[in-house]
Structure 1
Amino acid sequence: MEEFGFQSTTAVIMQPTTLCNLDCSYCYLPDRRKQRIMYPTVAGRVRDAVAGWVDRGTVEVCWHGGEPLAAGRSVLGRLMDRFDGLDVVHSVQTNATLITPEWCEFFAERRVRVGVSVDGPPEDNGQRVDHSGRPAFDRIRHGIGRLAAVGLPVSVIAVVSDPTPERAGRLYTFVRELGAAWLGVNIEEREGVNTRRGSARCRRGTC
């Protein structure tokens, strides 16, 4: 890595499953209706690489998606177990709709950091829908509430299609009221197989 100017690697992003229970209009990932699970041997190969990084500090292993919770606790647990013995911290980036008390126990026992993908209050969250086109906000908010009820801190990643001062104000107010520990903002762009302009569709009232 050093020949490219990187002194150390501090994080790796893993996709335990392609499946996602939501169908966000701006999502560019293919196969999100299919359950394709990562093989433990793949996680083991990544573990071998991470083993060469941890001498320089803790490495974050972020389980992304798809929706990582769609893999199930037993599958995700087995994949995480491949990193046992290394100085790593696990995190998940989830839409929070599948969070149950059992998932909260899983996060707490394994000290998993939780990031939630939510774009702000309901009026700004219209592009996050399920495969039937139903808004996901209430389910997302319910999942966040379950995390808060057991004292698990939450970070937020939001996709913003209309980066205006008014939009920023609503987002920051929403995140502050959540008590989130951290906020990341992605400005929507066309990428991969995403050839749709989700924000335009929503402004026409069709999402």
Structure 2
Amino acid sequence: MEAKMGILDSLAGFIDNEGLAEAFAVKPDDPAKLRRPVVDGIRRTREQYAERNIGTARAAGRWWQVQNGVVAFTVKLTGGTLPLSGSTTNHIPEAMFAAFLDKFEQAVTAGELDAALKAFQEDRAKAPNAGNAPRSKSHGGGERHPSNDREDWDSLTWAQRQKVNALYREGRNPDGSRIAEVGYKPDAAF
């Protein structure tokens, strides 16, 4: 029996419940999740711009406006705007806007804006909510929300994400069932 206690005692040398417990609890950065709002916005902008009509040069919530052959482009994220080239709104010749969006998407997916996105996210996390942003849009790290909990969130289209978000705001799972009645099921089919 003493031999067993000796081996058991030697296990204590492997265990670090203070330093390693902290390291275990830290969530690693997920570059894809950090980039997702920008990449989605670029794709949405590309679709909107391709489908534009003369009368739809301006619209609330869009990242772009066209006037006099110039596109005013602002990256609008939940909680503020992301500056590019030191400015929140940048002006691009209309003829070059599609090429600009392609290059911008390449830069984002290559990780060239990761530091700026991380800083934006940290500033947003530190800033108190002044009551300006709707509660339904504040689903940052750690909170229960389908964007944090759904396994296939990255593969959903923008429209599918919007549908899941709308149902969640109504207190429903993606399959339409009421969360209060059947429980929270973020991965439910829709």
Q: TM range, normalised to the smaller chain?
A: under 0.3
TM value normalised by structure 2: 0.24
TM value normalised by structure 1: 0.23
Larger radius of gyration: 2
Structure in which a larger fraction of residues adopt strand: 1
Structure in which a larger fraction of residues adopt helix: 2
